[in-house]
A and B are shown apart, each in its own frame.
Chain A
Amino acid sequence: MQPVPSLSAHQRPSGTHEADLALVRGTLEGEPECVDRFVRRMNCVPLILASQNARLGRALSPVEIQDLAQDVLLTIWKKLDTFAGLSGLETWIYRICCLELLNAIRRQRRGRYLATLDERLTAAPETDHGPDLLEYEHVHRGLERIEPPEADVIRLKHFQGLSFEEIAARLSIPVNTSKTRYYRGLRKLQELLRALEEEER
């Protein structure tokens, strides 16, 4: 896979993650200006679900995606007070959308027939993004299960593309601590990913 350059500043709707955190807090407090901006930013939810569903060979119908968009909206709303501003708002939303989409597909397939999503995903041709998305899901489920200080360093390193020096500055910790947390986190994540992959078999 070719490296993908980072999103440029104008593509990140509000610039810094601190601004996103302030926006979320303002929205939770019902500040009208924040609510307006938040509503506009949340329009990415149906788009993310539709685009990822298309990557998975349109596993869900347009109506099912519309319903899921409502469910995801509620999930995001319930979790909104846990948004810590370590990533951009859309990045945070994207992760929730992907995990909820995969869950919805699994639920739907359980209802219809016995073939699992994972069989379909892993059997998908190389041009299909199924295996990538499944790996993406495993990585995030694994990160949710390790200690937050270690998971934060890993996320900042691989999903925000920060150096250890930048991570240390962002988290107000010594550089060596960021490296140690990264190493410990990777060791735990590696065990969790192995367990998740065995579960899927």
Chain B
Amino acid sequence: MSHEQGHEELLERVVAEDLPASDSAVRARLAECAECREVLARMQSVMGKLTRAGELEQAALREVLEQAAREPADAEYEQRIRALVAERSAVQPKPSTTRWLALALAIAAGVVLLGLLYRRLAPARQGEVLLGDDRIVCEQPVGEVAEFGTFTWHFDLPKRGRFELLVWDDATPEGAPLVKRVDLTESRCRPELDDQRKWPERIRWEVRAYDAADRLLQRSELQRAWRSR
């Protein structure tokens, strides 16, 4: 067992509370290895910060919830929230909408989809970038592919902005992402091939663009890709 692997394993057991720092094996390791001492001290410092942040959050929340129970709600603010919900409901009509309206919407959606399809295919065919376009246009991988490979898309990122790439197992709608890359400045990303080989056969992915102040600018449409058999 290499020194590196040995000390990481021991430190992991200490940090994960399997071994107390006062354990004789731990103390012996710390006494002989300056790197172990430094790593453990840094990890304990981060754990301290996390604990303080957790305590701050709980104390502040307790205070706010107690205040909320005492004070009457802000009617104007409530109205604003209801307006937001209503706006969303207006965009997403319920199934009770009359049949003719549903038909009209379906036709309109078809036209929009054709337009989107045209806009998506045109630059890919000509190898152009959609300068000035306000949407994120995902390029690949989409549909059936031999390997997922490099993820590419188009979007004019503002100065000091960043992209996020998220990839999920398409079979688990609520699962955590397989990959989340958060500091991308180029409109492409190639997750490690070794990792990709462990991915399921079908994935879905999306890209989000943020400005320099970390405000969400755009989210791409959800893309699906699967390996050819």
Say yes or no for B150: interface residue by CB 8 A criterion: no
CA A2 to CA B80, docked complex, whole Å: 39
Chain B residue numbers with a CB within 8 Å of A63 are none
Contacts A42-B81, A74-B84; A133 near B56 (Cβ below 8 A): yes
The answer to whether A90 touches B54, judged by C-beta atoms less than 8 angstroms apart, is: no
Interface size class of A (residues with CB under 8 A): 35 or more
> B72: nearest residue on chain A (CB-CB)?
A43
Contacts A4-B55, A30-B89, A136-B56; A43 near B49 (Cβ below 8 A): no
Chain A interface, >50% SS class: helix
The answer to whether B213 touches A4, judged by C-beta atoms less than 8 angstroms apart, is: no
Instruction: For B16, give its contact among A7, A147, A182 (CB under 8 Å).
Output: A182
CA A194 to CA B46, docked complex, whole Å: 10
Say yes or no for A112: interface residue by CB 8 A criterion: no
CA A158 to CA B50, docked complex, whole Å: 6
Contact indicator per residue, chain A 126-143, by CB within 8 Å of chain B (1) or not (0): 000100110110111000
Say yes or no for B216: interface residue by CB 8 A criterion: yes
Instruction: For B92, give its contact among A30, A70, A135 (CB under 8 Å).
Output: A30
CA A3 to CA B48, docked complex, whole Å: 12
A73 to chain B, nearest CB (A): 6
Contacts A44-B64, A44-B68, A132-B56; A154 near B81 (Cβ below 8 A): no
The answer to whether B85 touches A136, judged by C-beta atoms less than 8 angstroms apart, is: no
The answer to whether B52 touches A161, judged by C-beta atoms less than 8 angstroms apart, is: no
Chain B interface, >50% SS class: helix
CA A105 to CA B215, docked complex, whole Å: 15
The answer to whether A180 touches B12, judged by C-beta atoms less than 8 angstroms apart, is: yes
> B93: nearest residue on chain A (CB-CB)?
A30
Say yes or no for B121: interface residue by CB 8 A criterion: no
With A7-B65, A164-B17, A190-B45 already in contact, 20 other A-B pairs whose C-beta atoms are closer than 8 Å: A30-B92, A35-B82, A35-B85, A39-B85, A42-B77, A43-B74, A43-B78, A44-B64, A46-B77, A47-B71, A51-B60, A90-B65, A94-B57, A133-B56, A135-B53, A139-B53, A157-B50, A159-B53, A183-B16, A186-B15
What is the interface of chain A, defined by CB distance below 8 A to chain B? 1, 3-7, 11, 13, 27-28, 30, 35, 38-40, 42-48, 51-52, 55, 69-70, 73-75, 77-79, 84, 90-91, 94-95, 103, 107, 129, 132-133, 135-136, 138-140, 144-145, 147-149, 152, 154, 157-159, 161, 164, 179-180, 182-183, 186-187, 189-190, 193
What is the interface of chain B, defined by CB distance below 8 A to chain A? 11-12, 15-18, 42-43, 45-47, 49-68, 71, 73-74, 77-78, 80-82, 84-85, 88-89, 92, 94, 174, 176-177, 179-180, 182-183, 213-216
